[in-house]
Structure 1
Amino acid sequence: MTTEQQPTRTERLDRLPVTPKHKRLLLGSGLGWALDAMDVGLVSFIIAALAAQWELDKSTTSWIASVGFIGMAIGASLGGLLADKIGRRQVFAATLLVYGLATGASALAWSVASLMVFRFFVGLGLGAELPVASTLVSEFSPRKVRGRMVVWLEAFWAVGWIFAAVIGTFVVTQGDSGWRWGFALGAVPALYAIYVRMGLPESVRFLESKGRHAEAEAIVRSFEAEADPSQYDTATAPREEPVRGGIWGPDLRRRTAAFWVVWFCVSLAYYGAFIWIPSLLVEQGFSLVRSFAFTLVITLAQLPGYAAAAWLIEVWGRRTTLAVFLAGSAVSAFVYGMATAEWQIIAAGCLLSFFNLGAWGALYAIGPELYPTAVRATGTGAGAAFGRIGSILAPLIVPPVLALGGSPAVFGLFAAAFALACAAAFTLPEQRGVALG
């Protein structure tokens, strides 16, 4: 006589429909994500204002942007390692607190040097938070919609960037202290961190890996209590075979290398373009207010880009969706570099926003699925950390490339980076419908 094998806790999570508890998790993580984006977006507007007020050259403004990305590179690596050691939730809350307080302190900066110190700590917290949040959401999401939920998490980035554009347009431009008020508004995450620490569940997979089975069982049951049993997914999910070694072990090294290439190229092109667009528009002769208004319109196109990626990622799969949106980003970047008339700048900018941010959504969905639980946050954090090297370089390389070949050369370089990322994306494994290891 045989007895039917009971499903594991992770299998029970995988077969659930989307419950109100899933939605609260997505909203709680997403609001933190949006606040992160608001902070990063504010820098693009503030450096344009500071360049005029403090009479800064392009090299100095480049370093104000890049020092934050140096912090992000360190934070992404450390955050992933800590999340695999002490838990996703604790690291998520701590990073929100660090960068929220540092953003508030940035409003009090009295010199370029002090501002750069504060921006480094902002980046430290921000870099650690992003891969940890995507890992947490991915580990709780039902298998059938896991990719879609992570893309919707990433879509909160557009919400935050839109808020940054609104603050830039209507606050930063209001007098010499406008940029200080912009940073002060970015300190909201410090308060939000308290809610995050209290309200979000810890990863079940993490708890099991640490032998905390009673806590893991209680969390799974809390999700099941809100689910309609008639909507359970009863299909058998394929599961990855056990892997040897860490993220550079024999079973993972190829996907790690491709993942890092995509991260580097997308970070280089995205941050190079969107950090500099307001300043480049000012240089083209548009007023500060008009340049910020153009950027606000361009930013709005991020939302339909995320929506399209969220739908396609469960239809086409992760790899194809990522590659198509990267190809669209490459074409859009090239077209933007050639644009001269106002309508051309706005149209090309909107296309770049649409495709680039859709690609970001797919990239964040792919990352946690590439690695088993023991190294999942480490793997996603390491990829993000390597990508931040691209974001560090991006603001620094724009001035010399701009001097050599103007806007066409700058955006031609970004188009090439997107094309390389597209090629690397095709070498990643397709993980749609695969149960997380």
Structure 2
Amino acid sequence: MPQPPRVLSALDVARIQLYHLKAIIIAGMSLFTDAYDLFCIAPVLKMLGEIYYHEDSIGTPILSIFYAIALLGAALGQLIVGYLGDRLGRRRVYGLCLMIMVISSFGCGFSVCTSRRSCVMASLGFFRFVLGLGIGGDYPLSATIMSEFANKKTRGTFISAVFFMQGVGILMSSTVTMAVCSAFKTAGEGSPEKTRAAESDIAWRLILMIGSIPAALTFYWRMRMPETARTVDLSSYQVLPLSLNLLH
């Protein structure tokens, strides 16, 4: 019976090394960013209601659409990116997901209109859906990459450490929102109503764009990650020199 390439056995029994910690940080920051981007929308919608809808209610249908649109993109992204990761390689598709998340986070903040609410909401909805595609791809790839780099003994612990960052991202989304709103409120004291409205319009955009920072900070490391050994065609017994070098 064919035996697995020696690199897989080496990874399974490898002691904890620096590359393990790097993988935890890279994958963990991915889930941190995913959680931040998904959960920051609730207070942002509250701000949008105050800025663009005034006395009118923003409406349950609109709220439901914006809560669901990124999740819909995430569900689709998981299916597409999971398939592409198996076909094209984890590292390459992982980098693509990162770029989608960074660009769409900035797109959410730079929603093309500043006056017409229908234009603002349509633009924001589009970029939230695209952001969901990146998030959906990031979730399975982060878990898969971490599990394929980890050894047998600590695999569960390492994956738990990665998913722990999801909770941190949720907390950070609330913290950043409160900090940004507090800063703008303090700076706008005594300003005319029109000026405060303009500042509030900047605040929600800033909150959304901040979500791109954690992902961008790990870009260099993510692009330098070697392909995971299990992505190689095992039937050909190819060995990944880069993966083997990491074990020394």
TM-score range relative to shorter protein: 0.7 to 0.9
TM-score (norm 2): 0.81
Contact 2:29 2:218 in 1 (8 A): no
1:169 and 2:178 equivalent? yes
Deviations 1:88-134 (A, max 9, x none): 11111110110211111111222111110111101011111110110
Conservation of the 8 A alpha-carbon contact between 2:69 and 2:125: yes
The alignment yields a C-alpha RMSD, in angstroms, of 2.2
1:74 pairs with one of 73, 76, 82? 76
Alignment of 1:297-376 (within 5 A): none
Greater mean alpha carbon deviation, residues 159-168 or residues 129-138:
159-168
CA spacing shift, 1:98–1:6, aligned 2, 3 Å: closer
2:122 corresponds to 1:113 = yes
Count, aligned residues: 219
Q: Which residue of the partner structure matches residue 14 of structure 1?
A: 12
Paired residue for 2:131, among 106, 114, 122?
Answer: 122
Number of the residue aligned with 1:42: 40
- 1:241-292: per-residue Cα shift (whole Å, max 9, x none)? xxxxxxxxxxxxxxxxxxxxxxxxxxxxxxxxxxxxxxxxxxxxxxxxxxxx
SS of 2:16's equivalent in the other structure is: coil
Q: Which of 137, 143, 162 does residue 153 from structure 1 map onto?
A: 162
Query: Once the 2 structures are TM-superposed, how far is the Cα of residue 8 of structure 1 from its aligned partner?
Result: 2.9
| Alpha-carbon distance between aligned partners in 1 of 2:144 and 2:158, rounded to the nearest angstrom | 11
1:357-379: CA deviation from partner (whole Å, max 9, x where unpaired): xxxxxxxxxxxxxxxxxxxxxxx
* Closer/same/farther in 2, CA of residues 36 and 134 from structure 1, 3 Å limit: same
Shift, 1:82, TM fit: 0.3
Matched with 1:179 is 204
Structure 1 residue runs of 5 or longer lacking an equivalent are: 226-437
Deviations 1:159-205 (A, max 9, x none): 22222111111114635121011112123256346414432221101
Letter of the 2:155 counterpart: R
Equivalent-residue separation in structure 1 for 2:221 and 2:138 (angstroms): 12
Alpha carbons 1:172, 1:181 under 8 Å: kept: no
Cα 1:160–1:224 shift into 2, 3 Å: same
Deviation at 1:211, TM superposition (A): 4.3
Contact 2:33-2:215 within 8 A present in 1 as well:
no
59, 63, 66: which is aligned to 2:65?
A: 63
- 1:101–1:190 CA contact under 8 A, matched in 2: no
Higher RCO (CA < 8 A, seq sep 6+): 2
Matches within 5 A, 1:256-275: none
State the SS of the aligned residue for 1:213.
Answer: coil
Amino acid in structure 2 at the alignment position of 1:113: A
Query: What is the TM-score with the length of structure 1 in the denominator?
Result: 0.47
Distance in 1 of aligned mates of 2:235 and 2:127? 35
Separation of aligned partners in 2, 1:204 and 1:127: 23
Aligned to 2:97: 95
- Which secondary structure state, in structure 2, belongs to the residue aligned with residue 54 of structure 1? helix
2:147 counterpart (125, 138, 148): 138
Alpha-carbon distance in 2 for matches of 1:6, 1:196: 28
Q: Percent identity?
A: 25
Greater than 4 Å deviation, 4+ residue runs: none
CA-CA distance at 1:7 after TM superposition: 7.6
Secondary structure in 1 aligned to 2:212? Answer: coil
Whole-angstrom CA distance in 1 between matches of 2:5 and 2:33: 38
2: CA distance, partners of 1:83 / 1:48: 37
- Tell me which residue corresponds to 2:30: 32
